[in-house]
Structure 1
Amino acid sequence: MPILNSTLQPAIANADLPAPVLFHPLKHHLGYIRTFISNHVRNRQQEIAPALQSIGRSQLDFYTGHLSPASIASEVILYLDRHQLLQPDAYLSYLSGRDNHYQTITLSDGTDWVLRWGVITDRYVHLHPARYASQTIRVKAVSLKTAIAATIAAQQLNTSIDLQLVNHVRAQWLYLPPLTVLTPTEGAGKLIVLLNQPENKNAT
């Protein structure tokens, strides 16, 4: 199996997920992102930007529930094992049963997750939240990157987040054009509010 772009590798390693699960929590998991922010407040922009770039530029589905990345991975592995689908050939056959080559399963918190074929060695169970599923929101990748960068920068500078700060990180960290308005109800502004809410301590 070919190796995917190496920018994804740190996100997998940092989440400490069991093989064969491939999951990019910096794109898809609110609790992980809050931890990422806390862990990188003392880092320089040059050390943070590559991880943010791994989020990409498309739309994505973003999980806001209480299950940790490790719990999500464990539940998926248990499901596949119970159905004799954990080995690569069986898993690939399972996905091939549909024309679009993916399957959807429901986890213990009622959220739906999409299973695809992963193309990183030993990480063939590619996992992400289902579109418009319970406890998920659909966001633009550039908005998510902006919100993460702005939150880290505000904590580094011990200041509040405003349009000037947001446009600074968009230009200097992310090489994105400036925003003309920042509102708490949409786009990057909505995600900034979400990332700065008190963290749910009940994640398992």
Structure 2
Amino acid sequence: MTDDLAHPALLNTWKHHAGWIRGRITAAAHAGADGIARLPAEMAVVGSRLMDLYVGAFAPAAIAECVFTELKARGLFEYEPLAKWLAERGAYEMTELPDRSKWTIRLGPATGRYLHLHPGRWAPHTMRVQANTLRSAVMAHAHARLTGRDARDLAVVNEARRLYLGLLPVRELTGDGGLGAVIAALAE
């Protein structure tokens, strides 16, 4: 999840990075039915709440590097100055990347990955997503690859929801942050 990010960045890629998720779906599909069957357990880190998903072009490592560069230039990269600065601002601060996306900087534990990053709410290149909507979109793409079908097909979506997630079928693929929009965001 954050293993490929330079220390001290923490970014939950399952919850917050569409490009990383696309790569994970591809890797699972290459592993066949067993690889796809493992995805629901991996997605436990998604939780059950609403989240912000970055759909822009920057890779997780590039996002972290942009934030590192800004914080280093301001003398805020080390834990103590960062902790003091964030405390003065109510525990978080926003930063803007070159693609105009906005990222929330929070403080993690002093002994680990203390630079916790989240995409900004309602910011460019970000969409609000319900947890089960994200899970359904991921599994629709994975199941579509396994079966040679289209992830945008309602029958494929409902088959994936039933087989992998134990969820009831949906009547339609809604847009604007709904299941249809998330499926589109995860398309290659």
Tell me the TM-score normalized by structure 2. Answer: 0.88
Residues 1-204 of structure 1: pairs in structure 2 closer than 5 A:
11-13=1-3, 16-41=4-29, 42-43=31-32, 44=34, 45-99=36-90, 101-119=91-109, 121-161=111-151, 162-183=153-174, 187-196=178-187, 199=188
Alpha-carbon contact 1:184-1:193 (below 8 Å) kept: no
Distance 1:121 1:36, change over 3 A: farther
In structure 2, what is the Cα distance between the partners aligned to 1:175 and 1:146? Answer: 10
CA drift at 1:59: 1.1
Let me know the Cα RMSD of the aligned residues: 1.9
Give the letter for the 2:26 counterpart. S
Structure 2: 5+ residue stretches without partners = none
Conserved 8 A contact 2:13-2:60: yes
Taking structure 1 as reference, are residues 185 and 93 closer, same or farther at Cα in structure 2, changes over 3 Å only?
Answer: closer
Unmatched 5+ stretches in structure 1: 1-10, 200-204
Secondary structure of 1:137's aligned partner: strand
Q: Is 1:29–1:69's contact at 8 Å kept on the other side of the alignment?
A: yes
Is the partner of 2:114 in helix, strand or coil?
strand
8 A Cα contact 2:149 2:156, kept in partner: no
Give TM-score scaled by structure 1 length: 0.82
Kindly state the Cα deviation for residue 177 of structure 1 after the two structures are TM-superposed: 3.0
* Matched-pair identity in %: 34
**CA apart distance, 1:121:** 4.5
Paired residues, what number? 184
Q: Contact 2:51–2:129 (CA<8 Å) still a contact in 1?
A: yes
